[in-house]
Amino acid sequence: MIQRHNIPPLKSLCMLGLLALCVNTEPLNAQEGQANKPRVNNEKPGSRGQVKRVHPHALKLILRGKKEEAIAYLKETAKFDVNPEHTELLLKIAQGKKNAWKYDAETWPWERALPNTSLKTKEPSDKFTIVFGGGAGYVPENERVWNTIGSIDPRALLLLGDNVYIDDPETPEMQRFHYYRRQSQPEWMKLAKQVPIYGIWDDHDFTTNDGWGGPDIEKPKWKREVWEIFKENYDNPYYGGGEKQPGCWFDFWIGKVHFILIDGRYYRESPKGESPSMLGTAQLKWLKKTLKKPATFTVFCTNVPITPKVKPGSKDTWDGFDSERQQIFEYIAEQKIPGVVILSADRHRSDAYKIDTNIEGMYPLYEWQSSRLTNQHVHGLIKHSLFGYNEKQSFGRVDFDLKSNDPTIKYTIINIDGKPIHNQTLKRSELQF
d(CA 369, CA 302): 10
Residues 120-158: b if buried by 16+ CB within 10 A, e if exposed: beeeebeebbbbbbbbbbbbeebbebbebbbebebbbbb
Report pLDDT for 96: 97
The amino acid occupying position 139 is V
Report pLDDT for 33: 58
Q: Is the dihedral of CA 253, 254, 255, 257 positive or negative?
A: negative
Q: How many residues does the chain have?
A: 433
Q: Which CATH superfamily is domain 127-430 in?
A: Alkaline phosphatase D (PhoD) (3.60.21.70)
Ordered by start, the domain boundaries in the chain are 127-430
Bridge pairing between strands 197-199 and 156-159 = parallel
| Per-10-residue mean pLDDT, the chain, length 433 | 38 34 36 77 75 92 97 94 95 97 98 98 96 97 98 98 97 98 98 98 97 97 98 98 98 98 98 95 98 98 98 97 98 98 98 95 97 97 98 98 97 98 98 97
Residue 41 half-sphere exposure, CB side, CA atoms within 13 Å? 15
Q: Is the peptide bond before 220 cis (omega within 30 degrees of 0)?
A: yes
Which positions ≥6 away from 346 have C-beta within 8 Å?
134, 135, 160, 161, 162, 202, 303, 304, 305, 311, 316, 317, 369, 371
Report pLDDT for 14: 35
Report pLDDT for 44: 79
Which positions ≥6 away from 167 have C-beta within 8 Å?
38, 39, 40, 41, 42, 204, 207, 208, 209
Report pLDDT for 51: 80
Instruction: Look up the pTM and report it.
Output: 0.92
